[in-house]
Chains A and B, each alone.
Chain A
C-alpha cells in the first residue's frame, strides 16, 4: 500500500461545469476525510466517512457538493455547477478510528481551477 491516492492531480474546468474527484485511502483505514485548502490558509474540514457512512458534513459543503464512499473503500467528491470560489486544493485523508495518536495520512490533493 503506497498511501492515499487522489485523482486527478490537477483539474481546470469552466464555471458551471460539474467535476468529480476520487480518493483511494489506505486500505486498512476505516475513516476517510475530505478537506479544502485555499492559498495562505490551513486545510478546512468538509466531510468524513466511517466505512460507508457519512457521519458529518461541514457548513462549508453547500448543496452543490456531494461525497460518497459506496463500499467503504474509495470515495468521490462531486462539485456541481462549479463557481470561481470553488478553486482550491481538495485534500483527502484516511485514518483508523481513534487515529489521532498516529496522525492522519493525507493524499497529495487535487488542485481545482475554475475559469
Chain B
C-alpha cells in the first residue's frame, strides 16, 4: 500500500528555469508534508515542510504547494541550478495523533532531478 507516490521517476530542466516536482498521497490523516533532497552516498537532507492547515510555504528558491482536496503537493524550484541535481523525496507524517505527537515519515519513491547548464 503506497500511501505516498511520486509518479515521475525523473525530470530534466534547463538552468534558470522552474523545476516542478509532484507528489500524491492517499492517507487523509497526514497533517505534515516534507521534501528532502538526496545526493548519492549521503542521507536525505531536509528542504522544506508544510502543515496541512496551509496551502503554500516558501523558503528562498523553494516553494511547496498543498492541495488537500486533491491530496496533491508540489515543490517548485525557481530558478533551478545545476547544484539542485539530486533525488527529491516527498514525505508525509501524522504529526499529531490523538493529542500525542507522532512523526513517523512515509516516503515516496523519489524523483531524479537533473538541471542542465
Contacts and interface: CB of A to CB of B under 8 A. Distances in A.
A43 B44 contact: yes
Considering the complex of A and B, which 3 residue pairs feature the smallest CB-CB distances, nearest first? A103-B46, A42-B107, A106-B43
Contact of B105 (A97, A101, A104): A104
Given A98-B95, A100-B49, A103-B34, A108 B107 contact: no
A100 B32 CA distance: 7
B103 A31 contact: yes
Contacts of A48: 103-104
Interface of A: 4, 31, 33, 35, 40-45, 48, 56, 91, 93, 95, 97-109
A101 B54 CA distance: 12
A44 B110 CA distance: 12
A111 to B, nearest CB: 8
Most buried by B among A48, A93, A98: A98
A48 B103 CA distance: 9
| Chain B interface, >50% SS class | strand
A63 B103 CA distance: 24
Interface residues of B, number: 28
A98 B100 CA distance: 9
A108 B34 contact: no
Contacts of A107: 43
A33 B105 contact: yes
Contacts of A91: 43-44
Contacts of B41: 108
A99 B104 contact: no
B63 interface: no
